[in-house]
Amino acid sequence: MSLDNRPIHTGGCQCGAVRFRVEGALGDASVCHCRMCQKAFGSFYAPLVSVRKAKLTWTRGEPKEFRSSNHASRGFCADCGTPLTYVAPDGIALAIGAFDEPGDIAPLVQWGIEAKLPHVDGIAALPGMDTMADEEAADFLSDLVSYQHPDHDTETWPPEDKKA
């Protein structure tokens, strides 16, 4: 929380070149299944949360934008490609997965369900396995060193002793 008791949310891209801070209550969170969102996220759908009346500040870098339609643009990190924003006439939404604490933001509605992929609803019923349960990948996973930006703000990135 900030000094004036407004909630504070931080986040950014995978490589750390773009970071943001949101002061104030977030708007509605949703999942969009439209084909443009599928392609923009390279995924089955796009989980997004509206910034609405909160104050959004880019604290390191800024997203590069792609005009995806006559009404909207999408922001992403030009260095690593992480999807970050959806900007439309009604405001800006941020990718939920880009937040440092994405588990705090639960979608309330689904949009674009006419393009929902037929297998999406069955994903929760699939068997779940721990990452290290993949025996074929265990050797390289056991000494994996992540160069991904951590889920908190940093003074500089990458660290001087770990530049990728």
**For 137-162, what is each residue's pLDDT tens digit?**
878 888 888 889 999 999 888 777 65
Local mean pLDDT, 10-residue blocks, the chain (164 residues): 78 97 97 97 98 96 97 97 97 98 97 97 94 83 87 86 57
16: in domain: yes
Which domain does 83 fall in, by range?
Answer: 8-162
* Number of domains present in the structure of the chain: 1
Q: Are 154 and 17 in contact (CB under 8 A)?
A: no
Alpha helices in the chain (DSSP H): 35-41, 138-142
Give the model's pLDDT for residue 61: 97
Q: Is position 3 within any domain? A: no
Separation between Cα atoms, residue 121 and residue 118, nearest integer Å: 7
pLDDT recorded at residue 3: 54
pTM, entire model: 0.90
71 located within any domain: yes
In a domain, 94, yes or no: yes
**Is residue 70 situated within a structural domain?**
yes
Could you give the CA distance from residue 113 to residue 129 in angstroms, rounded to a whole number?
A: 28
pLDDT score at 35: 96
Instruction: Supply the CATH number for residue 125's domain.
Output: 2.170.150.70
Residue 54 lies in a domain: yes
